[in-house]
Amino acid sequence: MPRETDQNLIGSARRRFEQLRSAKPARPLSFCEIVDRFRAVQDEYRDLDFLDPGGTLDIRTRITGVVTIRIELPKVEYLHLASVLIESDDFTDPAKHAEISVSSTWEAYRDALESGLLFEPDNRDLAVHTKRDNRPWMEITLDRPTDIRRVVLRNRNDARSVRARGIQVLARTEDGQWTTLYDGLIRERQFTHAVERHYATRSLANKAASALKLGTTTPRTPADHLSTIPDPATAADLTRLLTAIRLQDLANVQSDFRNLDLSDDARQELKTLINSDLLRPRNLEWSTHGIRKTFRFWSLEEKQHYIDFSLSVIESLRLLNEHVCFGFGSVLSIVRDHDLIPHDDDLDVIIAFEPDQASTLADALSLVRSHLNQDGFSAFGSSAANLNIRDREHFKKLDVFVGIFEGESIAWYPGRRGSLTRAMVFPPASQDLLGRPCPIPRDAESYLHELYGDGWKTPDPNFHHQFGKRKAEYGSIQG
């Protein structure tokens, strides 16, 4: 059993990096050099990729007489997996030789557990999902002692894959002895120590140079070496930030990033570098929504299934009223990009209410939440004018924004109050997106111009709505 939780690990790492803020490297390092050094360490711990959406953990082992494989988390959390591959010379189909038991089963996952889906190596859907237990676990009990040479786990394929932090895989042999095959906490600790060890040394620079010669690292151009050179304390803070990103400890990443002692230009340079060198190779991107598996990494089939899910939400909302269609960035996807926006990770649906149906945004949100929850979706969130919607099976997510008709205009936060009109949006028009007919605002170009200005035809990964600036305009109908 682990001797410390992942929270204790994060805390101790932060304290050690605080000590490094006063350390001085052999010479000042540029952003590019810091990222290169960090990437060289990261590449030695590729098993931590398991924490990414759809990540795999490939454990090569040679252990004889195994009767049970146990997978557990060292904290209060949900345990969920898409698949477990067990390779043995004793059988080819583990589903015929194994029984599965779990600490608990969340909602409707008993059928998935009993279906044998867990042992299908290409499965991307959830096969196991426990409740939020203290140290949740799953055991695979074999019908006879078996020699195991390999165990491969596949994580869930969305942002909640991070719940697997600290995962442990153990095997019990016929003599009753337990052997730890993999300990995620130990690997995180080893990774953190490796970053600390190399922060202020030249040893990692030599490894990076060797990697360049081997062609495993993208060569830098001369201009890259003119990259920003932060002071030692900021460099240490940056190294700690990169470590948190790698370990999916994302709760404070946005605030820590804002607190770096950097100019706006340097901050943007750094974010671009992190995306290109550290995140995109892992099918992740740092967007205005945070670090996500953005649409640029989705397959065509995944995109089409997601659009189908979004259309099913629209169909459900039409039972409330007919004033519903795609909105905001989703209209950019359909009209401008003819694809899901590469740097985005969700779609937006808009629905407007006459005052006699919902006189405030709070009333509208309550109507939508109650209706969708009764219709088999999961609607949640505490925003002033939108809800997050998920389906109960695959956890796809979209946003539903509510608006109130005010005569011929529509109050639709976070847009400028009164700038959108009834005639501009309804009744909706239709335009195809990836082979699916999608309802969009009737005068889509005027709608986009009003929300995004003259430059709406040019993608802007850094665009964000003025939520704070607009909030005061909606006080009288907030509810």
- The CB density around residue 387, as the number of other CB atoms within 10 Å, is 23
In this prediction, the residues of the chain whose per-residue pLDDT falls under 70 are: 1-27, 199-226, 392-396
Q: What are the pLDDT digits (tens) for 346-397?
A: 999 999 999 999 999 999 999 999 999 999 898 988 788 899 998 755 556 8
- pLDDT of 316: 97
**What CATH number was assigned to the domain covering residues 298-478?**
3.30.460.10
Rounded distance between C-alpha atoms, residue 469 and residue 479, angstroms: 18
Q: What CA–CA distance (Å, rounded) separates 136 from 126? A: 16
d(CA 9, CA 2): 11
Written as one letter, the residue type at 338 is H
Domain ranges of the chain: 6-48+190-292, 54-157, 298-478
Residue type, 213: K
**Residue-level pLDDT at 67:** 96
So what's the pLDDT on residue 97? 87
CB burial of residue 382 (10 Å; 0-12, 13-18, 19+): exposed
DSSP helix/strand/coil, 178: strand
What's the pLDDT tens digit per position in 122-158?
888 888 999 999 999 999 999 999 999 999 999 998 8
32 and 227 in contact (C-beta within 8 Å)? yes
Peptide bond into 136 cis (omega under 30): no
Calpha distance 253→411 (Å, rounded): 34
Residue type present at position 263: S
> Contact, 155 vs 53, CB < 8 A?
yes
Question: Hey, CA dihedral for 333, 339, 344, 350, is it positive or negative?
Answer: positive
Please give the C-alpha separations between residue 113 and each of 13, 53, 144, 307, 453, in angstroms, as whole numbers: 37, 21, 21, 27, 50
Q: Which amino acid is at 284?
A: L
Distances (CA, A) of 19 to 10, 233, 236: 15, 10, 9
Going by their DSSP bridges, the two strands 397-406 and 386-391 should be labelled as: antiparallel
Q: What is the DSSP letter of 277?
A: I
Count of residues making up the chain = 479
348-353 and 397-406 strand pairing: parallel
pLDDT of residue 208: 39
Query: Helix or strand or coil: residue 59?
Result: strand
DSSP codes of every residue in 209-228: HHHHHHT-SPPPPGGGGGS-
CA gap 130, 256 in Å, rounded: 32
Assign residue 282 a region (left: φ > 0; alpha: ψ between -120 and 50; beta: otherwise): alpha
Q: Are 444 and 326 in contact (CB under 8 A)?
A: no
Distance CA 129, CA 109 (A): 6
Residue 167's nearest CA partner among 59, 61, 12, 242 is 59
Got the DSSP string for 308-359?
HHHHHHHHHHTTT-S-EEE-THHHHIIIIISS--TT----EEEEEE-TTT-S
